[in-house]
Amino acid sequence: MAIGGLGLIISAIKLMMEYPQKLTVLLAALMIAARYTDIRFFHGETVDCDPATMNHFRAYALRTAVLASALYANSIVCGWTSNSEHGYRFF
């Protein structure tokens, strides 16, 4: 699951540079679906090697959704502020 988090960070950098925000939403949805599949069908474990429960999944899904939302909002703001048609450039 660390690869998914790294993917979100890479997509945030890509978003600030190219401005296609749908990539973050898609990646977050795929990460949540992968974790659900891992816990539900493959008896996924926590970092402490304990069996993961649906409560663990809910916490993971919430954290991932909040992070993806923050990255999405950040990419919009950075894309807007770095757009040269507004007459100024921060980045």
Delimit the domains of the chain by residue range: 2-84
So what's the pLDDT on residue 87? 45
Q: Residue 90: is its pLDDT beyond 60? A: no
pTM: 0.68
What's the pLDDT band for 2 if we cut at 50, 70, 90? low
* pLDDT tens per residue, range 22-64: 777 787 888 899 999 999 999 988 888 899 999 999 999 999 8
So what's the pLDDT on residue 19? 55
* H helix intervals, 19-53: 22-42
Burial of 88 (0-12, 13-18, 19+ CB in 10 A): exposed
The rounded Cα 28 to chain-centroid distance in angstroms is 4
| Helices 22-42 and 54-81, axial angle in degrees (round to 10) | 170
